[in-house]
Chains A and B, each alone.
Chain A
Amino acid sequence: MAANGIGVSVRRIEDYRFLTGRGTYTDDLNRPGQVHAFILRSPHARAKIKSIKTDKARRADGVIAVFTGADIEADQLGGLPCGWMVTDRHGKPMVEPAHPVIVKDEARHVGDQVAVVIAETRSQARDAAELITIDYQALPAIVSTGEAMSKSAPLVWDQAPQNLCYDWALGDQAAADAAFAKAAKVAKLDIVNNRLIPNAMEPRAAVGDYDAAKGHYTLHTTSQNPHVIRLLMSAYVLKVPEHKVRVNAPDVGGGFGSKIYHYAEEAIVTWASKKIGRPVKWTADRSESFMSDAHGRDHVTHAELALDQNGTFLAMKVSTTANMGAYLSTFAPCIPTYLYALLLAGVYTTPTIFCEVRAVFTNTVPVDAYRGAGRPEATFVVERLVDEAAKVTGLDPAEIRRRNFIPRNAFPYQTPVVVQYDSGDYQSTLDLALKGGDYAGFETRRAESAKRGKLRGIGLATYIEACGIAPSAVVGSVGARAGLYESAVIRVHPTGSVTVLTGSHSHGQGHETTFAQLVAERLGVDIANIEIVHGDTDKIPFGMGTYGSRSLAVGGSAMVKAMDKIIAKGKKIAAHLLEAAEADIEFKDGTFSVAGTDKKKALAEISGAAYVPHHYPINELEPGLEEQAFYDPANFTFPGGCHVCEVEIDQDTGTVNVVKFTAVDDVGRVINPMIVEGQVQGGLAQGIGQALLEGCVYDQKSGQLVTGSYMDYTMPRADNLPSFTVSTHNTLCTHNPLGVKGVGEVGAIGSPAAVMNAVHNALAPLGITRIDMPATAERVWKAINGAPRRAAE
């Protein structure tokens, strides 16, 4: 093993610049002659725009231009495209309304962009925006997911009756019904998966810079996938040649999904830069982020599980309404379908599953992928439902899980919902988590809490997720308008140091360290001599970016492929230099040697020879030592594991405290254990945040965003969280060269169900059967006070 290779907790290389304030974020970039854009946003959830008067704003101090939807239309810009077409259960394509860069006739959510002012300073732009007079005719709005399809709901789009985007289904309904008819017991559940606002630490920003001399556009932006933005913006929105566009996503301060999508502001600054002939910067303030970053989750679900006498799962039926918001964000349609229903088997052998999903439009910010994306929603349904099943059968929650686990020897395991799991060991992760969380000793702790007047509960989630997204042909067959491979270039320099170009993008994940370790291990180069380059389409090969816990499984595999090409070429060069047969050359720890001899050449000698090919097999081999690879995964990867949560509830106030949390995750091969633990901890914080604290609230009548700032939107903070006990028990992925599965999302996927199972467990003695997320103090207090039985104090 290399000193800083696979399996070592190397300190994050990138942290030095971040911790010393030397990162370069989009807002840090200032171009000569740069001016500033302010986006004027709709204050109404839904309103006709009868007229816009911009003359005063145009004449205001420092103002260079004011643009409205009419200007966008006049320049024939396209709308923001959607990257996924879902076909409904009747073979009908989803309703796909236009998503204008700036709206012209009607605003459809609070925050919808209605005009842009460009001025010398940000303040001048904002001042001038106040001089724009818009004659709005406010219209009734619909914001509720559950009510969107009701007869009385106003229509967000005329072409979408009942506000229905699609009515999609997966599985054999008749078979499911037949299984339910024979069931000894049925568990039922109505749940809400609360809408979340992502809140990356760095707000979105964009700088557009058009070079008239070259006819070249540059967009610096806070993106997780610069090439996807370049493709979508050049081909569909601006309709300019792709090769004339550079998209650069420099240091990015967190994304969690919200920076995957192509946003209007990116197109606006790039287009406007050409219009006015100067670079244009836009940086969101936090209030803008709340009302313009794509939100996450937002499902309303009814689910049922059929069981036999012994608690064996026979069939599952799930019916979900999913909120899309006012427009379809880039990947929105696939989240509640292919990233949701395909996970409903969980870790169990449920033979028959039927799922129907109705996606609805509402007058809210678009909803798209947010850390976990569909899989936390699926896990929440399955794992809450399994706890209900434990209740109706009288089995212990751990025992009913054990009885239904996919056994260790059953892999590869084909689920009834399309996907095939390659590996896993659910029994062991459960056993380890129960041991780590002292499940056996819980009743003693419950009694101790009761002495202090507190209700204590314990909850499990044995989750699975699908990540390492994704085999292109598979996703293409179900509506993806993109491939989901990844690219890498390994560039060995003449002196033997290495530059790696990757299509993945790091925005907090520590790729510059993890990828360097991977290369150090494989090529035997010290990590000090390895540089990871990402984010700039002028530097890196076409790549799909980072989301869906894919960077190591897909991007890392591309690096392995490229490194294998380097090693293969290096062997040829070494064979020539060492006057040996190529087949006799071995490569280990950075050295090429002739098997069974002491003849050897270091990688640096080989690369030196490759770039100075004086003694070189020049007739057979090109000079240079640089290789590119694209890797398209054969399957998803399937991390899983067990989270055990313990809560204590203050009956007087309803406050829920997480007092103990144990996670045992199977994430495949671990490159850097410290980074893995950090990813899990961050995910757990977000999952616990969803379960207990976070919840986007719209006013049902006005459609105003009530949780529009940190005064009302509750982010999890350190004192809301216990010290986590985090470990891994890994089985290797069988279909990628590293055996890695992915870790970015697992924490947020397993934890909400574990927390809510614990909350329900704590409240069960009072006869309380339903608490929705977030389980806020008042919500719990109300349930306790309306409860059939009040616990003996």
Chain B
Amino acid sequence: MYEFNYHRAKSVDEAVKTVKGASEGKFLAGGHTLIPTLKQRLARPSDLVDISAIRELQGISVAGGTVTIGACTRHGDVANSKDVQMAIPALAHLADTIGDPQVRNRGTIGGSIANSDPGADYPAAILGLGATIHTNKRTIEADKYFKGLFETALEDGELITKVTFPIADKAAYEKFAQPASRFALVGVFVSQGKAGVRVAVTGAGVCAFRVAEMEKALGAKFAPESVANIKVPSKGLNADIHGSAEYRAHLVTVMAKRAVAKANG
């Protein structure tokens, strides 16, 4: 990697200020995308601002029908949280499918969704539960957050502080892992709650997206057979050596069906 200045911020304000003051500043959370990128010399930030010591970005709480997860909370902590397991077991399960134990002990929810890798798991839960992303400036609804390939609604120097998830009546996540990286080749998160049915897909497209046709069908009847014959168009989906666009489109249906069955218990 190239040389950079390292800062360890103690507060959100300090972190944001330091990033803004740098010629090319980057927040560093778990570093599970950023550090490999630096090692391969694919990025050259002037300054890294480590936010992992900021207390207000840590922790999980459940209250008033909402699960709140601090941006720097590690995947492993979400997966092992009794509170999350009780409130939204599908979310704990999703966190438990991310990477391997080493990744789960370092990677954070804020880092995952700020990066918005097309194969990341968390975006499926964000969209699939209709979560709200809180930053140092504002709150962003899930539906307005994911914009494209590695592209989100976040502005330069804007820092995610926490994510709030409404507790659904039913929810499940089914993932077909890319065999080498274990990212989601296709992951589907389904939920049924106060705001209705949501079906969110990760891995298949440039970023996570919802499938309106499936949501409608499940709204009428929340059962696997409701989505069994609904195919998303393959046009525009990701394609690589692990799966063509057609295969991914097919897997969206299979994973949706399985997720609904699982949500129904």
Binding site for B on A (CB under 8 A): 123, 126-127, 287, 652-653, 693, 697, 706-707, 710-715, 776-778, 781-782
Q: Say how far A38's CB is from chain B's closest CB, in angstroms.
A: 12
Q: Which residue of B lies closest to A699 (CB)?
A: B241
Residue B40 CB within 8 A of the other chain: yes
> A287-B40, A653-B251 known; A778 and B243 CB under 8 Å?
yes
Which B210-265 residues have a C-beta within 8 angstroms of A? 240-244, 247, 250-251, 254
Number of B residues near A (Cβ < 8 Å) is 18
The interface bits of chain B over 165-189 (1 if a CB of A lies within 8 angstroms of the residue's CB, else 0) are 0000000000010011100000000
Binding site for A on B (CB under 8 A): 1-3, 40-41, 176, 179-181, 240-244, 247, 250-251, 254
> A287-B40, A653-B251, A706-B241 known; A127 and B2 CB under 8 Å?
yes
Interface centre among A715, A776, A777, A782 (most CB of B within 10 A): A777
Point out the residues of chain B lying under 8 angstroms from A127, CB to CB: 2
Interface centre among A126, A653, A776, A782 (most CB of B within 10 A): A653
Q: Say how far A703's CB is from chain B's closest CB, in angstroms.
A: 15
Task: Report Cα–Cα, A713/B179, bound state, in Å.
Answer: 9
Q: Say how far A195's CB is from chain B's closest CB, in angstroms.
A: 13
> A287-B40, A712-B241, A712-B242 known; A778 and B180 CB under 8 Å?
no
Task: Report Cα–Cα, A776/B247, bound state, in Å.
Answer: 12
Q: Which residue of B lies closest to A697 (CB)?
A: B241
Point out the residues of chain A lying under 8 angstroms from B242, CB to CB: 712, 776, 778
- B40 contacts A777, C-beta separation under 8 Å: no
- B181 contacts A693, C-beta separation under 8 Å: no
Q: Say how far A464's CB is from chain B's closest CB, in angstroms.
A: 31
- B-side interface mostly: loop
Task: Report Cα–Cα, A714/B176, bound state, in Å.
Answer: 15
Q: Say how far B82's CB is from chain A's closest CB, in angstroms.
A: 25
> A287-B40, A707-B241 known; A714 and B179 CB under 8 Å?
yes
- A778 contacts B244, C-beta separation under 8 Å: yes
Task: Report Cα–Cα, A714/B240, bound state, in Å.
Answer: 14
> A287-B40, A778-B247 known; A693 and B241 CB under 8 Å?
no
- B176 contacts A713, C-beta separation under 8 Å: no
Q: Say how far B97's CB is from chain A's closest CB, in angstroms.
A: 12
Beyond known contacts A710-B181, A778-B244, A778-B247: 17 more, CB 8 A cutoff: A123-B1, A123-B3, A287-B40, A653-B251, A653-B254, A707-B241, A711-B180, A711-B181, A712-B180, A712-B242, A714-B179, A715-B180, A776-B179, A776-B242, A777-B179, A781-B247, A781-B250
- A693 contacts B179, C-beta separation under 8 Å: yes
The 10 A-B pairs with the shortest beta carbon distances in the complex, nearest first, are: A714-B180, A714-B179, A711-B181, A652-B254, A778-B247, A712-B180, A778-B243, A697-B241, A706-B241, A713-B180
29 pairs from A and B in contact (CB 8 Å cutoff): A123-B1, A127-B2, A287-B40, A652-B254, A653-B176, A653-B251, A653-B254, A693-B179, A697-B241, A706-B241, A707-B180, A707-B241, A710-B180, A710-B181, A711-B180, A711-B181, A712-B240, A712-B241, A713-B180, A714-B179, A715-B180, A776-B179, A777-B179, A778-B242, A778-B244, A778-B247, A781-B247, A781-B250, A782-B247
Task: Report Cα–Cα, A287/B251, bound state, in Å.
Answer: 31
Point out the residues of chain B lying under 8 angstroms from A714, CB to CB: 179-180
Point out the residues of chain B lying under 8 angstroms from A782, CB to CB: 247
Q: Say how far B46's CB is from chain A's closest CB, in angstroms.
A: 15
Point out the residues of chain B lying under 8 angstroms from A123, CB to CB: 1, 3
Point out the residues of chain B lying under 8 angstroms from A776, CB to CB: 179, 242
Point out the residues of chain B lying under 8 angstroms from A693, CB to CB: 179
Indicate which residue in A287, A697, A706, A712 contacts B181 across the interface (CB closer than 8 Å).
A712
Point out the residues of chain A lying under 8 angstroms from B176, CB to CB: 653, 777
Task: Report Cα–Cα, A707/B41, bound state, in Å.
Answer: 19
Point out the residues of chain B lying under 8 angstroms from A652, CB to CB: 254
Point out the residues of chain A lying under 8 angstroms from B254, CB to CB: 652-653
Point out the residues of chain A lying under 8 angstroms from B241, CB to CB: 697, 706-707, 712
Q: Say how far A126's CB is from chain B's closest CB, in angstroms.
A: 8
Point out the residues of chain B lying under 8 angstroms from A287, CB to CB: 40
Interface centre among A697, A715, A778, A781 (most CB of B within 10 A): A778
